[in-house]
């Protein structure tokens, strides 16, 4: 496999692990990219394989190829909230209704901003039936959530807010700043860092967007208890991964699931988090601005995902059940099909992996894990 890009000599085993993902096997990569920053410096920036775009033509994955990264988008949206909190504009421990008055309806006065960022707000999907097309109407989607009753007592358990978290966070950003979250990320985070990441992707980027290759099996209710939270989530919003290949999905601002970028941009956008709030001459956070991430909110069996998850504010935290890092001051999240972002403050490192061929689960697979393990073996 022809691997393009650059890689620090001491991280040659990371390059080897990435190349190994293109060997024959059930999880063989088709097109993918991986990036690592250490002390803010891009020390791994690799891409390989092929992609198909809007014109249906097969072409090599390029340096500027971008793709929908699914829930890895959540790391960027959480960062936007951390920036506002660090600036004193958003109180992570205050009730949501303080910033969004309509949200207090239907027994939600106890829902705090931190609950939204840790999947404990009790709003993992919509009680009214939703369609993908309805997601493109921001006011409709957010007004339904504002009027809705929580599905469990807020703050007592996590239940993955796969799509709703982005609308909840995005509306908080809009109420505080007057900007959409896509505009806020573009002007206050991605733009200053030179990171090629977009929540709401404009026409000029269409030529370089890679289509995702959906998993072979869609979500089903198989194995789910009838009437359970997980079953209700799946029933409330049927979602075909191929929607990410459409123009309406791309244009919409979907802050939990619809960000477009590449490994380089995901790694770069989180580099300040890993380096005391500043990287490459850009300060996003004060030295203590990332501390709320490590305020553990829950460590229990999730009500939606078949996983025991340890949540901080905005990010997952390492645990024996999810040993994403050997370091305590590390956090992460990944996307449907296999994309992954890791921010390690102890190592002053960020890691990002994106791909077009989606795996069969919502909890990642060995492709990113193998590369990450090779990276930590060098850093140990």
> What per-residue confidence (pLDDT) applies to 345?
98
- The whole-number average pLDDT for the span 70-88 is 98
Give the total residue count for the chain.
380
Residue 153 token pair: 């007592």
Q: pLDDT class for 64, splitting at 50, 70, 90?
A: very high
125 Cβ contact list (under 8 Å, min separation 6): 161, 162, 163, 164, 232, 233, 236, 237
Q: Is the dihedral of CA 323, 327, 329, 334 positive or negative?
A: negative
Query: How far, in Å, CA of 72 to CA of 340, rounded?
Result: 6
For 108, the token pair is 């939600």
Q: What is the dihedral of CA 211, 212, 218, 219, to 10 degrees?
A: -120
Cβ contact 93:250 at 8 Å: no
Pairing of strands 340-344, 330-334: antiparallel
Query: What confidence score (pLDDT) does residue 219 get?
Result: 65
Task: Calculate mean pLDDT across residues 66-86.
Answer: 98
For the segment 100-156, what is each residue's pLDDT rounded down to a tens digit?
999 999 999 999 999 999 999 999 999 988 999 999 999 999 999 999 999 999 999
- Cβ partners under 8 Å of residue 342, min gap 6: 324, 325, 330, 331, 332, 349, 350, 351, 352, 372
Residue 251 has what pLDDT?
98
Instruction: With beta carbons less than 8 A apart as the criterion, state whether 244 and 256 touch.
Output: no
Looking at residue 337, the DSSP 8-state letter turns out to be T
Residue 260, helix vs strand vs coil:
strand
pLDDT tens by residue, 260-319: 999 999 999 999 999 999 999 999 999 999 999 999 999 999 999 999 999 999 999 999
Nearest alpha carbon to residue 65 among 259, 206, 253, 254: 206
pLDDT per position as a tens digit, 181-235:
999 999 999 999 999 999 999 999 999 999 999 998 766 656 678 889 999 998 9
Global model pTM greater than 0.85: yes
Residue 72 has pLDDT above 60, yes or no: yes
**Bridge-based pairing state of the strands 3-7 and 41-52:** antiparallel
Token couple for 212:
């995702």
Q: How far apart are CA 229 and CA 9, in angstroms?
A: 48
* DSSP three-state, residue 119: coil
pLDDT number for residue 224: 77
Tell which residue, 46, 45, 40, 65, has the closest CA to residue 54.
Answer: 65
Give DSSP secondary structure letters for 163-229. THHHHHHHHHHHHHHSS-HHHHIIIIIIHHHT---EES--GGGGGGEEPPB--SS----TTPPTT-H
CA dihedral 372, 44, 294, 169 (to 10 degrees): -110
pLDDT digits (tens, 9 = 90+) for 325-367: 999 999 999 999 999 999 999 999 999 999 999 998 777 788 9
What's the pLDDT score for residue 220?
61
**Which domains does the chain show, CATH number per domain?**
3-379 (3.40.710.10)
**Mean pLDDT, residues 44-67 taken together:** 97
Over the range 293-330, which residues count as b (16 or more CB within 10 Å of their CB) and which as e?
beeebbeeebbbbeeebbbbbbbbbbeeebebbeeebb
> According to DSSP H, which parts of 238-342 are helical?
247-251, 263-274
pLDDT of residue 109: 97
Q: Which pLDDT score is estimated for 27?
A: 67
User: For 277, what's the count of Cα atoms within 13 Å in the CB-facing half-sphere?
Assistant: 14
DSSP 103: G
| Residue the block writes with tokens 């931190």 | 114
Residue 1 confidence class, pLDDT cut points 50, 70, 90: confident
Burial 268-285 (b: 16+ CB within 10 A, else e): bbbbbbbbbbbbbebebb
Mean pLDDT (the chain, rounded): 95
Q: Hunting for tokens 């380096």 — which residue is that?
A: 275
């Amino acid at each position: 496999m022809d691997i393009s890009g650059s890689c620090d000599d001491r991280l040659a085993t990371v390059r080897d692990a990435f190349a190994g993902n293109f060997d024959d096997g059930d999880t063989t990569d088709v097109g993918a990219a991986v990036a690592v920053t250490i002390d803010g410096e891009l020390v791994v920036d690799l891409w390989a394989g092929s992609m198909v775009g809007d014109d249906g033509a097969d072409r090599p994955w390029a340096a500027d190829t971008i793709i929908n990264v699914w829930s890895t988008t959540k790391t960027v949206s959480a960062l936007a909230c951390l920036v506002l909190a660090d600036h004193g504009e958003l109180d992570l421990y205050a009730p949501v209704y303080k910033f969004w008055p309509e949200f207090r309806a239907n027994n939600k006065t106890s829902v705090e901003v931190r609950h939204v960022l840790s999947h404990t707000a009790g709003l993992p999907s919509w009680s009214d039936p939703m369609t993908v097309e309805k997601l493109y109407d921001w006011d409709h989607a957010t007004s339904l959530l504002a009027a809705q009753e929580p599905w469990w007592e807020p703050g007592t358990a996590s239940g993955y807010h796969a799509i709703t978290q982005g609308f909840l966070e995005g509306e908080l950003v809009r109420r505080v700043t007057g900007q959409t979250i896509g505009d806020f990320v573009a002007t206050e985070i991605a733009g200053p860092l030179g990171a090629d990441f977009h929540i709401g992707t404009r026409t000029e980027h269409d030529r370089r967007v890679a289509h995702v290759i959906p998993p072979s099996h869609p979500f089903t209710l198989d194995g789910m208890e009838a009437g359970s939270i997980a079953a209700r989530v799946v029933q409330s919003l049927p979602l075909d991964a191929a929607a990410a290949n459409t123009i309406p999905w791309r244009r919409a601002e979907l802050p939990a699931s619809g960000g477009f970028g590449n490994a380089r941009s995901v790694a770069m956008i989180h580099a300040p988090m890993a380096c005391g709030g500043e990287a490459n001459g850009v300060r996003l956070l004060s030295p203590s601005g990332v501390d709320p991430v490590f305020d553990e909110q829950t460590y229990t069996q999730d009500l939606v995902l078949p996983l025991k998850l340890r949540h901080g504010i905005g990010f997952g935290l390492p645990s024996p059940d999810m040993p994403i890092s050997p370091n305590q001051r590390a956090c992460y999240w990944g996307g449907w099909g296999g994309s992954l972002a890791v921010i390690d403050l102890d190592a002053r490192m960020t890691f990002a992996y994106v791909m077009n061929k989606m795996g069969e689960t919502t909890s990642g697979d060995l492709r990113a894990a193998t590369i990450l393990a090779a990276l930590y073996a060098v850093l140990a």
